[in-house]
Amino acid sequence: MSAVSEKSLVVVGHGATAREWLEAVAELPELALTAGVEPERERRAGLEARGVRAFESVAELVRALGAPDVAILCTPPAPRLEAAEPLLRAGTDLLIEPPLATVPDDADRVAELAERLDRVAMTAARFRGEPALLSATRRIAAGAIGRLCAVEVSLAYKRDAGAGWRGDPALSGGGAWLELGSDALDVAEQLAGPVRRVRMVESAARQGAEVEDEVRVETDHGDGLTASLRVSWNEAPSRPLARCIGDRGELSIGWARTQLAREDGTRELLPGARDAHSAHVAVLRDFLRERRSRERSVDAGAQALAWLHAAYRSCGTGRFELA
């Protein structure tokens, strides 16, 4: 790999999420980790322990080293715009952990600024190109389970809702739905088509924090097709990622395998969804391809955040909302 093709990389924010991205970055020799940005002293020490130069702010980084080629934003959602704007203006392309921001105005600002400056601001979406979902979509279109009648999506990860910034609405902007909702929507749209309306039918704070830790949302995809999305911070991943229920069979997309069950009793086993590490590597490769593209794709992050907020608005009313 020549020095010309190597790209300097900065990670902004250094928690568990950032560490997952760093493990994926290690597999891509074209990315050279140059520095990290983290306002908390203890976390900066964690970066420095890895031999990475650490800065307290993006402004301090740019003054000392100039603009990196690319940056991964892993900050809490609220300060995303604050971190993104100076990097975009300096000429850095951004891969941003979802959600893009906590409020639609900030998300729109990031998207508009990137477009105006001809920079990439891509929201990381591990399920948007998930091979197991793409395979399921092709089989459904080919009539493998007959007419698709319903879709169920389940995303669950153990989280302490009151720990760190997650329990502070000013930093997090919300709870389990804001963190996992974008991914759940991606899965639903891959299998059922674009979301047309959304409503939140259940929201609970079982851990007693200020933010929700378990949510159930329904999405309307038109032609009578709805999807049920369940996200939770109260259990480890165990259920299938998605179930596609047809009038002549069912597709169950799991983490280890996918099972196709037809009405005649025949069953077929297929590959399941990628593990988190492989998905992170795939997203990074997509991001690097986007940087090389002459035409910028429209990022889905701002639209996804609009749907997240529409679901929040519907909570308690029982009515479907538009984004």
Q: DSSP states of 75-129 as a string? A: S-STTHHHHHHHHHHHT-EEEEPSSS-SSHHHHHHHHHHHHHHT--EEE--TTTT
Instruction: State the pLDDT confidence band at 81, using cuts at 50, 70 and 90.
Output: very high
Give CA–CA dist 24/19, Å, rounded.
Answer: 9
Q: Indicate the pairing of strand 70-73 with strand 93-96.
A: parallel
**Co-location of 163 and 114 in the same domain:** no
Q: Residues of the chain with pLDDT > 70: what percent?
A: 99
**Co-location of 261 and 163 in the same domain:** yes
User: Do residues 6 and 32 touch, judged by C-beta distance below 8 A?
Assistant: yes
């050279």: which residue's tokens?
32
In a domain, 70, yes or no: yes
Rounded to a whole number of angstroms, the CA Rg of the chain reads 20
In a domain, 290, yes or no: no
User: Do residues 198 and 307 touch, judged by C-beta distance below 8 A?
Assistant: yes
User: Do residues 172 and 208 touch, judged by C-beta distance below 8 A?
Assistant: no
**Co-location of 114 and 150 in the same domain:** no
283 phi-psi bin (left φ>0, alpha ψ -120 to 50, beta other): alpha
Number of domains in the chain: 2
pLDDT at 145 over 90: yes
Backbone angles phi, psi at 319, to 5 degrees: -100, 145
We report the CATH number of the domain holding residue 115 as: 3.40.50.720
């921001």: which residue's tokens?
101
Last residue of a domain, one of 123, 139, 159: 123
Give the DSSP letter string of 171-229: HHSSSHHHHHHHHHHHHHHHHH-S--EEEEEEEE-TT--SS-SEEEEEEE-STT-EEEE
Class of residue 29 by CB neighbours under 10 A (exposed 0-12, middle 13-18, buried 19+): exposed
pLDDT at 1 over 50: no
**Co-location of 183 and 310 in the same domain:** yes
We report the CATH number of the domain holding residue 210 as: 3.30.360.10
pLDDT at 123 over 80: yes
In a domain, 169, yes or no: yes
pLDDT at 3 over 70: no
**Co-location of 258 and 139 in the same domain:** yes
194 vs 40, residue with greater confidence: 194
In a domain, 94, yes or no: yes
In a domain, 182, yes or no: yes
Q: Which two tokens stand for residue 229?
A: 């999305």
**Co-location of 200 and 261 in the same domain:** yes
**Co-location of 174 and 310 in the same domain:** yes
Average pLDDT over residues 279-295: 96
In a domain, 224, yes or no: yes
Write out the residue range of the structural domain in which residue 142 sits.
131-274+306-314
**Co-location of 88 and 159 in the same domain:** no
Average pLDDT, the chain: 95
Last residue of a domain, one of 76, 102, 123: 123
**Co-location of 222 and 152 in the same domain:** yes
Q: What per-residue confidence (pLDDT) applies to 83?
A: 97
Q: What are the tens digits of pLDDT across the range 215-235?
A: 999 999 999 999 999 999 999
Angle between helices 176-192 and 131-141 (to 10 degrees): 40
Last residue of a domain, one of 107, 123, 139: 123
Q: What per-residue confidence (pLDDT) applies to 300?
A: 96
**Co-location of 42 and 187 in the same domain:** no
Q: What per-residue confidence (pLDDT) applies to 238?
A: 86
In a domain, 293, yes or no: no
Q: DSSP class of residue 321?
A: B
Q: 35-39, 45-49, 122-126, 257-261 — which is least confidently predicted?
A: 45-49
pLDDT at 124 over 70: yes
pLDDT at 2 over 70: no
In a domain, 86, yes or no: yes
**Co-location of 151 and 260 in the same domain:** yes
**Co-location of 151 and 201 in the same domain:** yes
